[in-house]
Amino acid sequence: MTALGRNHVTVTGRAGGPVVMLAHGFGCDQNMWRLVVPLLEERFTVVLFDHVGAGRSDLSAWSRERYSSLDGYAQDIVEICHELDLGPVTFVGHSVSAMMGVLAAAREPEAFARLVLLAPSPSFIDDPEQGYRGGFSAEDIQELLESLDANYLGWSGAMAPVIMGNPERPELGEELTNSFCRTDPDIARVFARVTFLSDNREDLAKVTVPTLVAQCSSDAIAPPEVGAFVQARIPGSRLITLNATGHCPQLAAPEETAAAIAAFAGADH
């Protein structure tokens, strides 16, 4: 099985254009980018894929050993880049995929022209000794994971609207809930631990490609201090704060999200 088949890679947009690769977060799939893609494909070659265990990926390729850390996902990203052979890509990683991009770009910087880290968090857990605020205490995260273990569908229904934000637009929270519920619960439990327990703060300084950190103006999952921390740790990176609220700006504010990606990805084209 090739990486392109395993990860259900789809390529659209302008052939020969700068390449933008969009990576989804926990409980989602490439469909989460559907409102952004039409706004990018006139100028860019757009690459979409599903993480193994999500969407239309090859579920038989999932193994607890490979995907119990972000390293397995980062390796998938590198392999997709190799097989596509389209030259260096601008990698756009949403939420946990932002740190997958950090790891992949540190591992093989020549495969990446740029990184866009959308609503990133290198660690969700507060570290008071280091003065780091991730947004959650260790106890918060433990309770979250225990709730997910006990009743994944119930957890999805309660948690997805919190992650999405935008309570005045309940259809957005409902879409995220449905996306969570399509995910195999056993795979979701492993991926949740990878997402919420990983600590990639030390990896940020290893990034050598131009990087844009794009945070939302209000985000229950990744507070503003997190975006500032990421920007401060990645040499030469830029930080922008979108007007969008919630943790999924590609759904809540696709025009603003696409414009930020396009401006950065097409800076020298």
Rounded alpha-carbon distances, angstroms, from residue 89 to 23, 102, 111, 115, 259? 12, 13, 7, 8, 17
CA torsion angle 9 99 254 222 (round to 10): 150
Give the separation between CA 144 and CA 25, rounded to whole angstroms: 17
Which one of the listed residues 29, 50, 203, 219 is annotated catalytic?
219
- The verdict on whether 247 is a catalytic residue reads yes
Within 8 A by CB and 6+ apart from 146, the residues are none
- The verdict on whether 149 is a catalytic residue reads no
Give exposure, 44-58, as e/b (b: 16+ Cβ within 10 Å): bbbbbbbbbbbbebe
Question: How confident is the model at residue 257, as a pLDDT?
Answer: 98
Give the separation between CA 249 and CA 230, rounded to whole angstroms: 18
Which one of the listed residues 8, 24, 51, 247 is annotated catalytic?
247
Contact status, residue 108 vs residue 79, Cβ threshold 8 Å: no
> Tens of pLDDT along 196-226?
999 999 999 999 999 999 999 999 999 999 9
Mean pLDDT by 10 residues, the chain (269 residues): 95 96 96 96 97 95 96 97 96 98 97 98 97 96 95 94 94 93 92 97 98 97 96 98 97 97 82
Question: How confident is the model at residue 267, as a pLDDT?
Answer: 61
| pTM to 2 decimal places | 0.97
Contact status, residue 19 vs residue 89, Cβ threshold 8 Å: yes
Question: How confident is the model at residue 269, as a pLDDT?
Answer: 46
Give the separation between CA 202 and CA 205, rounded to whole angstroms: 7
Cβ neighbours, 10 Å, residue 266: 15
Which one of the listed residues 95, 97, 121, 123 is annotated catalytic?
95
